[in-house]
Amino acid sequence: MLHRLSTACVAATFALASFVLNAQSIDLGRGELPVTVPAGYSSENPTPLIVLLHGYTSSGAMQDNYMGFSKLADQYGFLLVAPDGNREPGGDQNRFWNASDACCDFFSTEVDDSAYIAGIIKEVKSKFTVDNNRIYLVGHSNGGFMSYRAAYEHSDTIAAIASLAGASHIEEREPPQSPVHVLQIHGTADGTIAYEGSHILQNYYPSALDTVKRWAEYNGCRAEGEERELRDLVSTLDGHESSTVVFKKGCKSGGSAELWTIVDGSHVPAFSPTFTAQVVEWLYAHPKTIPSFAD
């Protein structure tokens, strides 16, 4: 299972090309961390912030090369940070996030990555004028797991998360302090993090739908989801291959849950030309405070 996880995440970094980030950076003790600043940024205008979390064995730069968020920063006007997880103490020294029992602190380092991500947000806010209602996390695989943990533990700060092929915790918990919008994107043919849920080293994680339903419940939404438009998320699958289920009726202000299911989608899909823009636009449509959804 670990070999499949490592192989899949390495595949996400194929054809890694060099790219230039805006010459801004922060440092929270893990080395210099570049900050992408959009053209036209002004300290007088609150600016959305996206924190991009990589998969197991990958890096922030590799994840951004795969998903292409920095390329959209100018167009959509957001700040972007793509941090690196710690390296494992083992021989391979893979980068990881300590997100849940299932994924991916395999050496039991117990590093507090949730606090690290919260520190990144705080540090960026100290240097830039960040829109407090539009602080977002996007994560792939292990980074998706991490986005759920950080959202749960820092729900007062994070407006919304988008998880590609990640999963939330499986154990029963009380709802987080504040509502958080969640988007789960998952392929039904994912052989690494199973769409229907499974385990890593006997540590179980929930299915994509159960993850979304749990957060719908946390956010006070009604149990019945609504099917919406089909989406074109993957270039190698014909047509609009992805279905959408939305839980937004009756939700608390600032909370909802949504599932984009990529039929026959893999763990590392080849994105359609509009995939990342669709994610950004979804995030922008889900700020921290909005009126409660009505019938």
Is residue 295 a part of any domain in this protein? no
Here the CATH number for the domain that contains residue 139 is 3.40.50.1820
Is residue 92 a part of any domain in this protein? yes
Is residue 213 a part of any domain in this protein? yes
Is residue 291 a part of any domain in this protein? no
| pLDDT tens for the 295 residues of the chain, in order | 655 665 555 555 443 333 333 449 988 888 899 999 999 999 999 999 999 999 999 999 999 999 999 999 999 999 999 999 999 997 899 999 999 999 999 999 999 999 999 999 999 999 999 999 999 999 999 999 999 999 999 999 999 999 999 999 999 999 999 999 999 999 999 999 999 999 999 999 999 999 999 999 999 999 999 999 999 999 999 999 999 999 999 999 999 999 999 999 999 999 999 999 999 999 999 999 854 444 4
Is residue 292 a part of any domain in this protein? no
Is residue 289 a part of any domain in this protein? no
| Residues facing 87 on adjacent strands | 95
What's residue 100's pLDDT?
97
Residues sharing a CB contact under 8 Å with residue 36, sequence separation 6 or more, in sequence order? 21, 22, 24, 69, 70, 73, 79, 80, 81
What's residue 23's pLDDT?
47
Into how many domains does the chain fold? 1
For residues 280 and 48, what is the distance between their CA atoms, to the nearest angstrom?
Answer: 11
Domain enclosing residue 38, as ranges: 2-284
Is residue 105 a part of any domain in this protein? yes
* 118 CB-side CA count, 13 A: 14
Length of the chain: 295
What's residue 28's pLDDT?
86
Residues sharing a CB contact under 8 Å with residue 100, sequence separation 6 or more, in sequence order? 145, 148, 149, 167, 168, 169, 170, 203, 205
Residues sharing a CB contact under 8 Å with residue 37, sequence separation 6 or more, in sequence order? 22, 24, 73, 79, 128
Closest CA to 158 of 171, 169, 146: 146
Is residue 294 a part of any domain in this protein? no
